[in-house]
Amino acid sequence: MTYALSSFFWFVVVTGILVTWHEFGHFWVARRLGVKTTNFAVGFGPSLFARTGKDGTEYAVKAIPLGGYVKFIDSREAEVLPADIPFAFDKQPIWKRSLIVLAGPVANLLLTLAAFTLMFMLGKEDLRLVVGTSSGAAATAGLVRYDEIIKVGDVAIGGIGEATLELVHQGYSKQKVLLTVRDVRSDAIRTLTMDLSQLPEKFDEKDPLAAMGITGFHRDADTLVDALTPDFPAALAGVRPGDRIIAVNNLPVARFSDFVKTLNEQANRAEGRVELTIERGGARSLLAVTAKKIPASAETSVPMWRLGMGFKNYTVTKRLGLNAAALESGRSCYYLFKRTMSAIGALLSGEASLKNVAGPITIAQAAEATASAGAAQFLWFLGLVSLSLFVVNLLPIPVLDGGQLMFFMMEWLKGSPLSQNTQFAGQIVGLLAILGLMLLAFYNDLARVFGVA
């Protein structure tokens, strides 16, 4: 219950920021261009808060935190006082209306740039894509444990996020891809060719690395202690960073997966009491410790025994000054924009599975997870979702900003506005398309939650 409430809270925070800023973009440009507004709302449904400003605009926060809107004076929707005709949206030239509509997505793009810039200034830590185990296409290519992928094709890789995006992009083509890898122990660099032609027609992009036969080192690290949780059994018993866990109750454990399995099996037999074999400074010793039982959660479907130890992973932190952070923010936006368009193209062409369309539950879970991981990770997620809104809102679908711009373009070519019936029909088609997309996203979310996707 606590996890669900926390996820809902961070979902409201994220959507509140993104929607308010998007609608403010429309609102700010409209007011600067002399168009009057009647409503500025965040959310839909009944109002939780409403206030009419001195400018005559009602500002409201609605009960359903999905979307929002700015309403302009418009003679097509209601009777307009003769004195307000010059300030009506529909009476403005095409260039003004286009700028007003474009301002919302542009606001999202600016928010992405700002969030990424601040993130790089704070310092974003990311896992490096170091191979833990390999199989399938990865093993055939020659990837082995401790190989770090530092370049996919011509694209240099800074962390596991970039590597995953680039491998997904390459996976759509089902062709061979050149990988540059470095052994993290010796720094030796070599190149490999991974053949992606054997990937399923619609491979699992929820875990594309697994589809390609790569298990990251972070999922099955060596049992070298890197961090300890204060007041948890391991720290209280005297375990130190740099210790290597050799065995649990004399049963060898060389990797994280072995450790978790053996710890839980042995702890269940003696109410959490186990004996660790520790290697420290070349010498081995035994240490008695009582594990703590953690209730089932969103991450674990059953209760688990924990000692409060984190094992060493390979990470990279990018921390930059203001100018360098702004430049890197622009580079990241451009790269993510290209990969987002590639993903949309793959969805439309059938190369990518519709199961990858995520909805509010997935967004809420990701918002909670990144918020728990720190400000930099949350800013990364906020910027990523804002960039997605920038792209999606510019799609030429009626009811979206891109659809409005499409109508304006047709009006400019035709020399006169499209008929009300034509625009209404387009709006209905666009609404049905968005409704279908929302239902698909909700279905995918529920399928993931209940384990049927």
Active site residues: 23
Q: Are the beta carbons of 97 and 29 closer than 8 angstroms?
A: no
Q: Which two tokens stand for residue 357?
A: 């369309």
φ, ψ (nearest 5 deg) of residue 395: -65, 140
Please give the structure tokens belonging to residue 199. 């990937």
> In this structure, what token pair is assigned to residue 352?
């990518």
Label residue 51 exposed, middle or buried (CB < 10 Å: 0-12, 13-18, 19+): exposed
Task: Give CA–CA dist 42/388, Å, rounded.
Answer: 19
CA 439 centroid distance within chain: 20
Number of H helices, E strands in the chain: 12, 18
Closest CA to 94 of 390, 402, 405: 405
Residues in CB range of 432: below 8 A, 6 or more apart: none
φ, ψ at 134 (rounded to 5°): -135, 155
User: Facing residues of 264 across strands?
Assistant: none
Strand partners, 286: 277
Pairing type for strands 124-127 and 225-228 reads unpaired
Return the axis-axis angle of helices 401-414 and 420-449, rounded to nearest 10°.
160
b/e code 61-91 from CB counts within 10 Å (16+ = b) = bbeebeebebebbeeeeeebeeeeeebbbeb
Q: Which among 294, 297, 384 is positioned nearest to 332, based on CA atoms?
A: 384
